[in-house]
Amino acid sequence: MDKLIKSIAESGSFRAFVLDGTETVKTAQEKHQTLSSSTVALGRALIANYILAANQKGDSKITLKVIGNSSFGHIISVADTKGHVKGYIQNTGVDIKKTATGEVLVGPFMGAGQFVVITDYGTGNPYTSTTPLISGEIGEDLAYYLTESEQTPSAVGLNVLLDEEDKVKVAGGFMLQVLPGAKEEEIARFEKRIQEMPPISQLLTSQDPMDALLTAIYGDEPYKRLSEEKLSFSCDCSRERFEAALLTLGQAELTALKREDQQAEITCQFCGKHYLFTENDLEGLIEHG
């Protein structure tokens, strides 16, 4: 089961989130039938979105838009503060690997663009914050966003590892933040450990991935686990929501739709679920709308 653990150094100078998002990215790949590079890019964005949501207090929704100008197009995802995420990538068919190593490539196919975070506290006034894409690898883009936009020096590592058949093997990552009052020598120790850390994909394939990540971050410095939350890919779409969307077309449009197509089929972009509205359903909407 996917989870996110929040932790803090006993000195109070650093905090870290570590998360396992393997099932989430597996589900996303199955729902969207993504090929290798698209799977890794979408998976990394979903993990980044989990981290952004875990960084919020209270009940809110965080939309992440990674908008590139290359092959992937855009990636859109939405996470809430209860551990749910949903998301999709515009181009599901990008499949590019280094010939020598088989490493799946992401950054060059994201291109230049923007990392957009929209926070909605349910007040009707969502707050939008944007930073440029630094590398298009998404982990670095998130670290830059957190450091620049939220003024908190942050290190991020996240990845998705595929098996020989390009199915998701493991997915997850971490975020480490410096808290006010951290001493220089302490910062230097953490920086050194982050630089010397084994690849995320290697840590994620160890027996206890969460423990391996925490050990890589804290070394032998004492820390506390603050909380553990369950995570899952979960879409909140419903027939009622799409009915409401159809009603916004207005009577004239709906009547034209009924006459020309005799039905309406709507597919949820986030999870691929199909909703069919028959001629009778449309008639009902026209009468009661």
Strands 14-20 and 154-162, bridge-based pairing = unpaired
Measured between alpha carbons, how far is 171 from 19 in angstroms, rounded to an integer?
9
Q: Quick one: 74 or 86, whose CB is closer to Zn ion?
A: 86
Nearer to Zn ion, 8 or 237 (CB): 237
DSSP string, 40-102: HHHHHHHHHHHHHHHT--SS-EEEEEEEESSTT-EEEEEEETTSEEEEEES-TT---B-TTT-
The one among 64, 160, 254, 268 contacting Zn ion by CB under 5 A:
268
Contact 20, 55 (CB under 8 A): no
- Judged by CB under 5 A, the chain residues 193 through 252 that form the site for Zn ion are 235, 237
Smallest gap, in angstroms, from Cβ of residue 268 to Zn ion?
A: 3
Q: Cβ contacts of residue 193 below 8 Å, gap of 6+?
A: 216, 217, 218, 219
Question: Is residue 277 a contact point for Zn ion (CB under 5 A)?
Answer: no
User: Using CA atoms, how far apart are residues 5 and 89, in angstroms rounded to an integer?
Assistant: 27
What are the φ and ψ backbone dihedral angles of 77, each rounded to 5 degrees?
-145, 160
Q: Does 96 bind Zn ion (CB under 5 A)?
A: no
275 makes contact with Zn ion (CB under 5 A): no
How near is the Cβ of 235 to Zn ion at its closest, in Å? 3
Strand partners, 151: none
Binding residue for Zn ion, selected from 67, 271, 285, 286, defined by CB under 5 A: 271
- Give the count of residues interacting with Zn ion (CB under 5 A): 6
Q: Which stretch binds Zn ion (CB under 5 A): 129-137, 165-173, 226-234, 273-281?
A: 273-281
Smallest distance from the beta carbon of 261 to Zn ion, in angstroms? 22
Q: How far is the CB of 44 from Zn ion (least distance, A)?
A: 21
Residues that bind Zn ion (CB under 5 A): 235, 237, 268, 270-271, 273
